[in-house]
A and B are shown apart, each in its own frame.
Chain A
Amino acid sequence: MSTLDIRGLEVSVITEKGPIEILRGVDLTIRSGQTHAVMGPNGSGKSTLAYSIAGHPKYRVTGGSITLDGANVLEMTVDQRAKAGLFLAMQYPVEVPGVSVSNFLRTAATALRGEAPKLRTWVGEVKAAMSALNMDPSFSERNVNEGFSGGEKKRHEIMQLELLKPKIAILDETDSGLDVDALRIVSEGVNRAKAANDLGILLITHYTRILRYIKPDFVHVFANGRVVEEGGPELADKLEAEGYAEYVGS
């Protein structure tokens, strides 16, 4: 049982013109086995929240706290956060030229598990994860995210989620750029990971579409850098019908 606890989180983004305040006191608690949807209009700070939890150097935490089972996440380096059990499925996964998917995955698994996975079982694990996501075996020989379509990038993210087995996963607009079939396949992967590892999920999305496949236990509406309304799945239905107009504007 794990708990990611975010209290009063204030974050600025570092720009050439100086820091700009984005998050203005965010409170969220995500426990193992729970799915929390964070929904909000563009520019409300959803992705900033995701990157801040993962420790992206562009964002500076100016107030509040993030703890994972009581351990101070904000004091951890990016790789230490992953080792502690956090995972960020990125909206825009980064290309790493010259580094093959198979080499990347094995290096990550080695780092997270503290020893190199046994080659024979590892190859089987990767094959199974790829086939579950309808990915061609040749995929593992390609360079990380290089020349991947939008759908391939997202499948690759969810494949990592299944292989690396984090405690808490942040899915940043995993649904963006996916057609209906890909959305279903990716969502099934998320649901498998949740069932297999009692994963806690922070699902960041603009649209309610993905919530038909990944059922949230809690919905949080995000606007102007903070949570402005919270509820159960029925809140998503309200957003579907009425949009975000009520929460934006002045």
Chain B
Amino acid sequence: MSVLTTNYLTPTGREEAWRFTPLNRLAGLHDGSVAIVDRKSLALKGATPAGVRFSRLSRELVSIESTSQDVVVQRVHAESTDVVLLEIAANTQVPEPIFLNRTSGGLIGAELSRVRIALGAHARATIIVENSGEAILGEDVEILLAPGSHLKFVTLQEWSAGSVHAARHHAIIDKDASFVSITVTVGGSLVRLLPTVEFSAPGASAELLGVYFATAGQHFEHRIDIEHGVPRARSRVNYKGALAGDQAHTVWIGDVFIRAAAEGTDTYELNRNLLLSDGARADSVPNLEIETGEIVGAGHASTTGRFDDEQLFYLMSRGIPLDEARRLVVRGFFAEIISQIQSEEIEERLMTRIDDELSKAGQ
């Protein structure tokens, strides 16, 4: 296995892309100091549905369709030995969600994992990636959506306490294809995800949804980047986060670029954070750059607040005790997005975890 540490620009923490990230907690994913272990943790759960192919190919056989400035993604591209491919044939409608899960890999040595998801023209599917247990993981998922296809892509970061996960989820969306991603981050020591999108033809759309709940000492970072480089594409972003406990830290960056060619763009992004205790910190940075005025709409909003006293008063005035009222409000806050996974089992599992985190935070 090659180790090409000299070819990378190791971040110092002063770069815009790294200024919020505690580099010393990345387990060496960023500077190559971690030992790379040949681990293949991603597996397809259950039987392979008709029209779906799950395989593993040597990396030379799968071209990389995008570039990234991110050093962890660059390492994944250069050093992962093979690529996991999930392909859905054109015109295939997969009725049930396809589950991919990552089994626990342990905290000794890192896994670098390259994943390719490709939907043929007019294919429709839901893919749910379940990440749990202990792992140090550098990951790049490229998602290619052919014209008219539709993918709902759900990733659940339910990692154990010590886990470190740095990843890019990059979607390239063709004409009239639509992409919905739902990112849920509720566990791990440090999770840094880059949900990024580029549109390759008009009529493409992307909806990026996410929730995160950080408790004491956790660092959860989501850096969205949407490139509107073609006309008449649509994007929506809605991320909601809650924080409780000392040194809980979340970062949400929403970069949306509307290039000169992207006439008729329609974009809106929203980030809301609920600070549930002192000592927690939510950074929220929406950023919209517009190079053409010929657009349908472009906007962003970001709010960070505490519990709404009026909501708590209303619930308590009906006999509901304070801790129960807070639990209801937090569940309600996340329900808007979690309900869109459309799986009662996952919804209940996540809500139970959120309840646990809330009660652990001591209030």
Contact = CB atoms under 8 A, between A and B. Distances in A.
Interface residues of B, number: 24
Nearest to B325: A79
Contact of A96 (B315, B317, B322, B324): B315
B318 A98 contact: no
Nearest to A79: B316
Interface string A22-61: 0000000000000000000000000000000011111000
Interface residues of A, number: 31
B329 A79 contact: no
Interface stretch (A104-112, A187-195, A205-213, A218-226): A104-112
Nearest to B339: A98
A152 B72 CA distance: 53
B318 A82 contact: yes
A111 B324 contact: yes
Given A82-B319, A107-B324, A111-B319, A96 B329 contact: yes
Contact of B319 (A98, A99, A103, A112): A112
B16 interface: no
A1 interface: no
B8 interface: no
7 contacts: A82-B318, A83-B319, A96-B329, A104-B318, A108-B319, A111-B318, A164-B318
Interface string A53-75: 01111100000000000000000
A78 to B, nearest CB: 4
Interface string B89-125: 0000000000000000000000000000000000000
A160 B333 contact: no
Contacts of B328: 96, 99, 103-104, 107
B329 A108 contact: no
Given A90-B314, A104-B315, A99 B331 contact: yes
Instruction: List 9 tightest A-B contacts by C-beta distance, closest first.
Output: A98-B332, A98-B335, A82-B319, A108-B318, A78-B316, A94-B314, A99-B332, A112-B319, A111-B319
Contacts of A164: 318-319
Given A78-B317, A111-B324, A98 B331 contact: yes
Given A97-B333, A98-B331, A111 B320 contact: yes
Given A54-B317, A94-B314, A104-B315, 20 more contacts: A55-B313, A55-B317, A82-B318, A90-B314, A94-B311, A94-B313, A96-B311, A96-B315, A96-B332, A97-B332, A98-B334, A99-B328, A103-B328, A107-B315, A107-B320, A107-B328, A108-B319, A111-B321, A143-B332, A160-B318
A144 B315 CA distance: 10
A81 B324 CA distance: 16
B93 to A, nearest CB: 28
B60 interface: no
Contact of A79 (B319, B331, B336): B319
B309 interface: yes
B345 interface: no
Nearest to A56: B313
Given A99-B331, A111-B324, A94 B318 contact: no
Contacts of A4: none
Interface in B315-362: 315-322, 324-325, 328-329, 331-336
Nearest to B320: A111
B320 A79 contact: yes
